Amino acid sequence: MMKLDQIREDDLAAVRHRFWVEGLSVAEWAARNGFSPATTYSLLAGRLRARRGEAHRIAVALGLKPPPMADDTNKSDEEKTPKK
């Protein structure tokens, strides 16, 4: 049974397939996007959960996780409006 905090293997396989179709290596994608190739490989191999840090940012960039919500999403309209 898969835990809720893990990225599905099917999703990881889809990203690896996308790299193959595009003729792009994992290392090349990582370098273009400013990420560690080793961390990217570990994430795509399912060794990292991508809970925080660089692995999380890689998962978001690959579309494996949704982007974080904006900082002000929990603020009321009054708190969002700058004071004059």
pLDDT digits (tens, 9 = 90+) for 44-75: 999 999 999 999 999 999 999 998 887 655 55
> C-alpha distances in angstroms, 52 versus 5, 59, 61, 70, 78?
11, 10, 13, 16, 31
Residue 1 has pLDDT above 80, yes or no: no
Query: CA–CA separation, 54 vs 40, rounded Å?
Result: 9
How many domains does one find in the chain?
1
Determine, yes or no, domain membership for 76.
no
Q: Sign of torsion, CA 44 58 52 6?
A: negative
Determine, yes or no, domain membership for 32.
yes
Query: CA–CA separation, 17 vs 35, rounded Å?
Result: 19
Per-residue pLDDT tens for 26-45? 999 999 999 999 999 999 99
Determine, yes or no, domain membership for 81.
no
What is residue 2's predicted lDDT score, i.e. its pLDDT? 46
Structure tokens given for 75 = 């603020």
What is residue 29's predicted lDDT score, i.e. its pLDDT? 97
Query: CA–CA separation, 12 vs 36, rounded Å?
Result: 17
Domain span holding position 28 = 9-61
Determine, yes or no, domain membership for 14.
yes
